[in-house]
Chain A
Amino acid sequence: MQSKVDTRYWRFCAYMGPLFVAIFYYCWGVLGHNFPPFQPDAPAAEVAGWFREHRNGVRLGMVIAMSAAPLYGVWGYALAKVLEQSVGGERPADNILVQLARVGAAWTVITLLVPTSFWLTAAFRPDALPEWMIQMLYDMAWLLIDLAYAVTTVQLFALGIGFMADKRATPLIPKWLAWYGIWVGFMFIAECIMPYFFNGAFARSGILNFWIEFLIWMGWVPVLTYYVLKAITRIEQENAAG
Chain B
Amino acid sequence: MQLVEQAKSGQPTRLPGDPGVWVFIIADMGAFALFFLIFTVGRIGSPSLFETSRQHLDVTLGLLNTLILLTSSLFMARAVEAARAGVRGAVVRNLGLTILIGLGFAVTKMIEYRAKGAAGIGLTTNEFYTYYFVFTGIHFLHFAIGIAALAMMLAKARRDVLDARFTVWIESVGCYWHMVDLLWIMLFPMLYLQRTG
Contacts and interface: CB of A to CB of B under 8 A. Distances in A.
B38 A183 contact: no
A193 B27 contact: no
Given A180-B27, A183-B24, A175 B141 contact: no
Interface string A196-240: 110011100001100010000000000000000000000000000
Contact of A196 (B21, B23, B31, B124): B124
Contacts, number: 47
Chain B interface SS verdict (over half): helix
Nearest to B122: A196
B163 interface: no
Interface of B: 18-21, 23-24, 27-28, 31, 34, 38, 123-124, 127, 130, 134, 137-138, 141
Given A196-B123, A200-B127, A208-B34, A179 B24 contact: yes
A98 B183 CA distance: 34
Given A180-B23, A189-B141, A201 B18 contact: no
A175 to B, nearest CB: 3
A176 B130 contact: no
B9 to A, nearest CB: 27
Contacts of B34: 207-208, 212
A208 to B, nearest CB: 7
Nearest to A180: B23
A86 B130 CA distance: 42
Contacts of A164: 18, 20
A122 interface: no
A106 interface: no
A212 B19 CA distance: 24
A153 to B, nearest CB: 13
14 contacts: A164-B20, A176-B20, A176-B23, A179-B24, A180-B27, A182-B24, A189-B138, A190-B134, A193-B137, A196-B123, A200-B127, A201-B38, A202-B134, A207-B34
Contacts of A180: 23-24, 27
A113 interface: no
A82 B38 CA distance: 39
Contacts of A174: 20
Contacts of B138: 189-190
A145 interface: no
Contact of B23 (A179, A187, A201, A208): A179
